[in-house]
Amino acid sequence: MTKVKVRLRPIVNRINLPTVLKTTILPGDSMERLFIATQIGEIFYIGNSGLRTFLDIRPRIIKLGASGGLTNYPHLFRKLLR
């Protein structure tokens, strides 16, 4: 068995309650991006210039009173990133 050393390093910080990580290529783009959805209704992506907001539906999540936020709506996240 070969011994392998693995190191982890943070790629972003200051994200509140991340729940889903997904990579995808957006229409018209040629670069695969990492998307991060939070439980409270934000979706971020990591682009060339760092972390950027893709979608912010916090007012709708809070207004609906969904205690689980986007974790109760995984189908929404999948549809957004098709």
User: Could you list the residue range(s) of the whole structural domain that residue 76 is in?
Assistant: 18-80
Q: How confident is the model at residue 1 (pLDDT cuts 50, 70, 90)?
A: confident
- Which residue, among 33, 81, 29, has the nearest Cα to 55 in the 3D structure? 81
Q: Is residue 62 part of a domain?
A: yes
State the burial class of residue 37 (Cβ atoms within 10 Å of its Cβ: 0-12, 13-18, 19+): buried
Mean pLDDT in residue range 46-75? 70
Q: Which residues partner with 18 through β-bridges?
A: 38
Residue 51 lies inside a defined structural domain of this protein = yes
Geometric angle at alpha carbon 9, from 37 and 11, rounded to 5°:
35
- Report how many domains make up the chain: 1
| Predicted TM-score (pTM) of this structure | 0.65
Model confidence over 14-56: pLDDT tens digits? Answer: 888 888 889 888 888 888 889 999 988 899 998 777 889 999 9
For residue 45, give the nearest of 74, 70, 77 by alpha carbon: 77
